[in-house]
Amino acid sequence: MKTYHLKTNQGNNAVNQVVIQSEDRWGHGVSTFQSYQTIMAHIDCEGKVTLDKSYPYSRTTSRYLNQFLSVTSKDRDNFVKSGAYKIADLNDLTATFHNCENDGKINNEPSSRNVWKHQ
């Protein structure tokens, strides 16, 4: 697992804005954006984005979210409206990752390959 801070407009580390890069249990790369102690966004092994249910975020958090996703606010909002970015409770401790192998199926259940699935 690797972590790094997003950057302020002045190029300094944004202390409470962290990206966590890791591998899921199948060895696929995943990235998570955390603001303070809250997970705000997750990019799964297929590049699919899920935002926390608290979306829309504050202006400051949105700025760092855009930096994490490499998008503008307008594009991000359009991706949410179109369903390209999913909304889920990323801070629910009962949620689990979907398997990105086997066509996204877990326990023979069809999956839309969303990042999180509640058990």
Amino acid in the structure at residue 80: V
Question: Can you tell me whether residue 8 is helix, strand or coil?
Answer: coil
Strand runs labelled E in the chain: 2-7, 13-23, 29-35, 38-43, 49-52, 85-88, 95-97, 116-118
Q: pLDDT for 62-72, tens place per residue?
A: 999 999 999 99
Among residues 88, 98, 109, 95, the alpha carbon closest in space to that of 46 is found at 98
Among residues 113, 63, 57, the alpha carbon closest in space to that of 80 is found at 57
Q: pLDDT for 41-60, tens place per residue?
A: 999 988 999 999 999 999 99
- Summarize the confidence of residues 72-84 as an average pLDDT: 96
List of residues 6+ apart from 25 with CB closer than 8 A: 97
Indicate the DSSP class of residue 79.
Answer: H
Percentage of residues of the chain with pLDDT beyond 70: 78
pTM (two decimals): 0.77
